[in-house]
Amino acid sequence: MRYLLDTCIYGVLIDRKHPEFNRIREILDYAKSHKENFATTFIVFKELDYIREDYKSIVLPEYFKSNSVNLELIMAKKQKDVDKLAWHYIQKLGIEDVEMVFPDAENYAWACHANLDVFVTMNRRNLLSSDFHPSIKRINEEMRVKYVKIMTPTQFLNYLNPQTG
């Protein structure tokens, strides 16, 4: 199985009082010991750099960023296909705030073109909203790419440990 963690997952580490903090720590501990199952993107790197600018005292998971597979590096030839799919999501779903949503669309498109199994996010606005999952699935079928499950941290932990869910 292969997974991609959205930037917002790391962002929770900034606030120990965040309701998802312990779940995120559990996911990152799992990722640390199963690096071969995780991928990342330059989009995540860039967004983490923005977070780091505001929270210089917080150590974000450099170990994970440096040891997970970067999709753009191993799949560079797919960049045009990824961009096309990301734009297709935005157009077909009628999303207006393109500048804000495009990184999410592109990140998810990378996961699809890399045939990952799960995209873990807490970002439930616009494109990644559960309301859009059926439409995203249809778009992926049209574009002949794999539909990657979009899960919350809780759903992902239940997926990893079905006996506890």
- Express each pLDDT in 128-161 by its tens digit: 888 899 999 999 999 999 999 999 999 999 999 8
pTM score of the predicted model: 0.85
* pLDDT tens, position by position, 34-80: 888 988 888 887 777 776 666 655 555 554 555 566 776 677 788 89
Residue 165: both structure tokens together = 């869910």
Nearest to 43, CA basis, from 97, 94, 86, 95: 86
Q: Which pLDDT value is given to residue 9?
A: 87
Q: Which residue has the higher pLDDT, 130 or 85?
A: 85
The count of other CB atoms within 10 Å of the CB of residue 71 is: 25
Nearest to 139, CA basis, from 120, 112, 114, 121: 112
Helix ranges (DSSP H) in 37-78: 42-54, 62-67, 71-74
Nearest to 143, CA basis, from 104, 108, 102, 94: 108
Rounded to whole angstroms, the Cα distance separating 40 from 42 reads: 7
* pLDDT tens, position by position, 91-118: 999 988 888 889 999 999 999 999 999 9
Tell me the sheet residues that pair with 99: none
To the nearest 10°, the Cα dihedral for 49, 132, 89, 1?
Answer: 60
What domains can be seen in the chain, in order of their start residue? 3-160 (3.40.50.1010)
Dihedral sign of CA atoms 14, 19, 25, 30 in order: negative
Residues 160 and 30 sit within 8 Å (Cβ to Cβ)? yes
Rounded to whole angstroms, the Cα distance separating 54 from 21 reads: 19
